[in-house]
């Protein structure tokens, strides 16, 4: 009798789905540790509210919370401007808002990638309107040359080229979030 643990697993990701690896697991973990230390110093003496912008930031925020030394609260919201597409629709909508009120809080928006800046600008305005004491942005990735005029990104992990990337929370049609690295997606999204 063969158990499921004895069956060979197909390669993941499949051949041809990932081109160049932009950021290794080790590079990411090292930078996340630094970001956690920066944030802990910045919010010493207060309890910030880390807000994960889901789904892409799920792995990043989990590691960032572990790297943060101090009291912190956590909540998550789901915001969409992509759907299953490879390009932003240009329309931001809140699919699921916070359960924790943001009024009077020091909010840290934790994002996987700032691409056009549209989602972050929308969320900054959203939390300012809700009466947050302060709102900071911590993004794992920012695209090179992103026009962020008027958009404040307080903590950046890495600047990356304009390739479509997957891994470490980033997806192509909801797949590949579980890769431990960030790589260039070279496959297709036809599932």
The sheet with strand 165-166 has its strands ordered as: 18-23, 182-185, 165-166
Q: Which residue is it, tokens 């009024």?
A: 103
CA distances (Å), origin 93, targets 77, 118, 190: 11, 11, 25
Q: Partners of 109 in the beta sheet?
A: 51, 137
Residues belonging to the active site? 115
Are the C-beta atoms of residues 76 and 190 closer than 8 Å to each other? no
Q: Compute the distance between CA of residue 19 and CA of residue 153 in angstroms, rounded to an integer.
A: 28
Enter the tokens of residue 64. 């960032």
């Amino acid at each position: 009798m063969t158990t499921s643990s004895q069956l060979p697993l197909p390669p993941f990701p499949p051949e041809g789905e990932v081109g160049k690896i932009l950021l290794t697991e080790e590079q990411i973990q090292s930078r996340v540790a630094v970001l956690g230390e920066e944030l802990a110093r910045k919010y010493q003496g207060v309890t910030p509210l880390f807000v994960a912008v889901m789904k892409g930031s799920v792995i990043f925020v989990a590691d960032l919370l572990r790297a943060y030394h101090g009291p912190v609260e956590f909540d998550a919201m789901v915001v969409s401007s992509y759907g299953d597409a490879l390009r932003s629709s240009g329309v931001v909508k809140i699919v699921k808002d916070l359960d924790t009120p943001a009024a009077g809080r020091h909010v840290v928006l934790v994002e996987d990638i700032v691409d056009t800046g549209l989602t972050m600008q929308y969320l900054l305005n959203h939390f300012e309107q809700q009466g947050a004491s302060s709102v900071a942005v911590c993004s794992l990735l920012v695209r090179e040359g992103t026009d962020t005029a008027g958009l404040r990104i307080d903590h950046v992990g890495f600047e990356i080229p304009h390739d479509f990337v997957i891994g470490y929370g980033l997806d192509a049609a909801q797949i590949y979030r579980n890769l431990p690295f960030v790589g260039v997606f070279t496959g297709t999204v036809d599932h």
